[in-house]
Chain A
Amino acid sequence: AQSVSQHNHHVILSEAASLELGCNYSYGGTVNLFWYVQYPGQHLQLLLKYFSGDPLVKGIKGFEAEFIKSKFSFNLRKPSVQWSDTAEYFCAVLGGSQGNLIFGKGTKLSVKP
């Protein structure tokens, strides 16, 4: 069965620090990858996605992710975080037999002002 691993449970950063959240997936074939964000009290929102093409994907709010097939990774990055980026971030692969998403456990990001 496919799985997604997010290495960091909770990351604490100061504003303007750079961010990289790790995500590894287990599936070796063609993958469709996503990062979703859940701000406090809000629903899951799509941050960015990779289906094919350029492995460097740009999303909303200055986030980007790089698909590295040889490392089975899809890490999320942002050069300079803001307090408003405080949220929980979920990596997911579209890999279930019914087109469902398989999620990582999530990484909680706290940004100190």
Chain B
Amino acid sequence: GAGVSQSPSNKVTEKGKDVELRCDPISGHTALYWYRQSLGQGLEFLIYFQGNSAPDKSGLPSDRFSAERTGGSVSTLTIQRTQQEDSAVYLCASSLEPYGTQYFGPGTRLLVL
């Protein structure tokens, strides 16, 4: 079946602009995760959704970051007033249930100029 998909695959934006990243998890997967992969920080966890609910948003790097999930499926990660340090690959993963095996999407490579 189809894996996790993410769009766009690449995004170049100017500092100060808002960006929206999309994740489409594997059908039927209730748990959805966002991670960020950058050279200096490695792979870091951002936020988790169980269904449409994100119980803890403390992993988000700043209040410029927000995320939502609708219909227990698609999720969007929004970064407002982007900064150069936001440049990274943003990865989405889903699992059938919490604490299950996570399957990753191809990521969105974000470059903030």
Q: Does A61 contact B (CB under 8 A)?
A: no
Q: Does A79 contact B (CB under 8 A)?
A: no
**Residue from A49, A104, A106 in contact with B101 in the complex, judged by beta carbons closer than 8 Å:** A49
**B102, A101: Cβ atoms under 8 Å?**
yes
* Candidate in B99, B100, B105, B107 with the most chain A CB atoms within 10 angstroms: B99
Task: Please judge, given known A-B contacts A90-B43, A105-B42, whether A99 and B103 are in contact too, CB under 8 Å.
Answer: no
**Chain B interface helix/strand/loop/mixed:** strand
Which of chain B's residues has its CB closest to A94's CB? Answer: B99
**A43, B102: Cβ atoms under 8 Å?**
no
Task: Please judge, given known A-B contacts A44-B91, A102-B45, A106-B42, whether A97 and B56 are in contact too, CB under 8 Å.
Answer: yes
Q: Does B1 contact A (CB under 8 A)?
A: no
**B45, A43: Cβ atoms under 8 Å?**
no
**Residue from B48, B55, B56, B104 in contact with A44 in the complex, judged by beta carbons closer than 8 Å:** B104
- A36: chain B residues at CB < 8 Å are 104
Q: What is the CA–CA distance of A106 and B91 in the complex, to the nearest angstrom?
A: 16
**B43, A103: Cβ atoms under 8 Å?**
yes
